[in-house]
Amino acid sequence: MKQLQDVYVVAATRTPIGKAPKGALRQMRPDDLLVHAIAHAMKQVPSLDPAAVEDAIIGCAMPEAEQGLNVARIAVLLAGLPCTTGGVTVNRFCASGITAVQMAADRIRCGQAEVMLAGGTESMSLVPMGGVKPSFNPHIFDRDENVGIAYGMGMTAEKVAAQWKVSREEQDQFALRSHQKAIAAQQAGEFNDEIVPIDVVSKVANLSSGEVEVKTRSMKLDEGPRADTTLEALARLKPVFAARGSVTAGNSSQTSDGAGALLLCSEQALKQFSLEPLARFLSFAVKGVPPEIMGIGPKEAIPLALRLAGIRQDDLDWIELNEAFAAQSLAVIKDLGLDPAKVNPMGGAIALGHPLGATGAIRAATVVHALRRRKLKYGMVTMCVGTGMGAAGVFESV
């Protein structure tokens, strides 16, 4: 039996995250966002022969319209990779991006590929959550345990808040801290290693001259973090999913636009192309939970991912726990006893945004560069997933 190979990350980059539906990236196609991320990932490894990239696995939670038609293959070609590089789009909702990394890594680990591209893209400005034409199978209502499939994500967060006794005050405090950490990280330049600036072009009609004025600006940072957020302002927001609930727009993740891309390779490819590894991809796990409390999913996936990586929870130095909602993030932290100081040290999706299928790849870029920059050893990317799942991937700095 052939021995499994180690898998290394040699490039990891992402676009800035735009606010949907009125942010700077609202009119930018998600395939163009992905092209931008892929092209710059390739620029990070100039010694790599593009023809060596065997396949691209790209996550997208709502793969239709501007991000349909196998967006992975289209983006590969538009990014300038040779036609010999394949492309496939995968969907595990919010875990699509990290699942793409896992699938690419498995190809290498099994010796079926030496160099793979993984990533994710999503425009929530152009393609709404649920897609253009959502259509639930009516049989989900035949059994009580399946009704949760039809729940809005906000209602699942309310159920988690109630079951795990997470108060409104705790949620708002968590949300405020997310913004504070994100602003501090932006001001310290801690996102510079992972973000590739993108030119945003706007066209405005000048009614006086009858001409169209074209303006271009470079977008270098995520749009979501707010320096003016206060606990008082968050407390004034009304619940949006249940009349007497505690989940608000302020303690929920932001709808967003963005893309991320990573290049993974084997040790043989490292030597062949003189590549410097950023990290090693150690393990991935996914576990199911009841759909109506989907937000608790990471508490089931994290222990399994750690066991597969051969490390303990205390060994983790950095945890990117996607903040779909403050309620579910706090429930996971409390249930597993995660060290809050290690969770989202640079803020999370409440401040930075959550472009669904792209988030796993984006947060993978964050953890890979953060481990290297701060000279830390082990990092994790984890998130809850719609219809009741949790996913987690473990990285090791090298």
Q: Is 384 a catalytic residue?
A: yes
**Which parts of 24-95 fold into alpha helices (H)?**
30-43, 71-78
Count CB-CB contacts under 10 A for residue 19: 19
Rounded to 10 deg, the angle between the 153-163 and 326-336 helix axes is 40
- Is 110 labeled as catalytic in the residue annotation? no
| Cβ neighbours around 82 below 10 Å, total | 12
Q: Among 94, 179, 265, 369, which one carries the catalytic annotation?
A: 94
Measured distance CA(272)–CA(249) in Å, rounded: 50
From 36, 60, 369, 384, active-site residue: 384
Between the alpha carbon of residue 77 and those of residues 32, 33, 34, the distances in Å are 11, 14, 11
Cα-flanking dihedrals φ and ψ of residue 25, to 5°? -100, 15
Alpha-carbon span 333 to 310, nearest angstrom: 21
Which residue in 36, 179, 354, 369 is the catalytic one?
354
Q: Are 70 and 337 in contact (CB under 8 A)?
A: no
Do the beta carbons of residue 370 and residue 376 sit within 8 Å? yes
Cα separation of 38 and 183, whole Å? 27
Pull the structure tokens for residue 23.
Answer: 């942010």
**CA distance linking residue 264 with residue 275, whole number of Å:** 11
Please name which of 312, 314, 344 lies closest in space to residue 326, comparing C-alpha atoms.
Answer: 344
User: What residues are annotated to the active site?
Assistant: 94, 354, 384
